Amino acid sequence: MIKNYFANDYEGPAFELFGEGHLVALAIIAAIITWLIVGWRNPSEVAKRRGRYVLFGAILVVQIVYFSWLFTTGAWDVRENLPLHVCSFSIYGSMYVLATRSYRVYEVIFFFGIVGAAQAVLTPSVGEYGLPHFRAVQTLVAHGLIIIALVYMTVIEGFRPTFASVWKSLLALNLLMVPVTGVNLLLGSNYMFTLAKPATASLFDLLGPWPWYLLATEFVALGLFLLLYLPFVFTKNKNQSDPIS
């Protein structure tokens, strides 16, 4: 029975959007973020460093286990599992920020990292893999860790995005789309969903057919980035240092 939850050819029920398991996962992510914002008061520099290392280690372990699962089950596919989705860039960017405290990388990935990961935890693209299958759990944990890591760097480390960061993040997305679309045309893949909408329900469903949803996504992304930036209009920048560029 347990093996079925790690099998590539899973025979259980499909993922239930906002089902009991999904809501529990969302509640855990929200609870951790809430604790970071209001519960962890004045940590020491040693505590901060340990927190970064714990998050870095957690993301690393999740990625190692995930790719081990892909290869051992024969699920790995060059058209689906190269690190070329928005959240893949966010995962490795978050790890870099946690390890180096790089403000330059932080401000670029902050907006598309949180917005993209939030979309992924709210509407996971896991198809037939329902909870508690490993693939569904891994998706929720990995994307939840992106949000938690970036909130950690903001709340605990004191990093703050600027208004210019909004445009840097949007520009980075557009620059990434160019080579990624080239890879898609070459491999017949759909990284960053530049050639088709996700197969599962998502925000893209509200934005029209291809290629118009790509243009609409630009405006939606900008609106969400600005909404995410709004709280920082009323807060003072504590730390925008970049000890390791």
Query: DSSP letters of 144-200?
Result: HHHHHHHHHHHHTS-B---HHHHHHHHHHHHHHHHHHHHHHHHHT--GGGSSS--SS
Rounded CA gap, 154 and 37, in Å?
9
pLDDT at 4: 79
DSSP state of 15: P
CA distances from 147 to 65, 77, 93, 115, 155 (A): 20, 26, 12, 9, 12
| Token pair recorded at residue 1 | 């029975």
pLDDT greater than 90 at residue 12: no
pLDDT greater than 60 at residue 243: no
pLDDT averaged over every residue in the chain = 90
pLDDT at 138: 95
Q: Tell me the mean pLDDT in the region 145-159.
A: 96
**Percent of the chain scored above 90 by pLDDT?**
71
pLDDT at 244: 42
Count of Cβ atoms closer than 10 Å to residue 123 Cβ: 19
pLDDT at 137: 95
pLDDT at 208: 79
Lowest-pLDDT choice from 28-37, 78-87, 118-127? 118-127
What residue segments make up the domains of the chain, in order of their start? 2-233
What pLDDT band is residue 163 in, cutting at 50, 70 and 90?
very high
CA trace torsion 206, 207, 209, 215 (10° rounding): -170
pLDDT greater than 60 at residue 238: no
Lowest-pLDDT choice from 48-52, 143-147, 204-208? 204-208
pLDDT at 167: 96
pLDDT at 239: 47
pLDDT at 9: 83
pLDDT at 245: 42
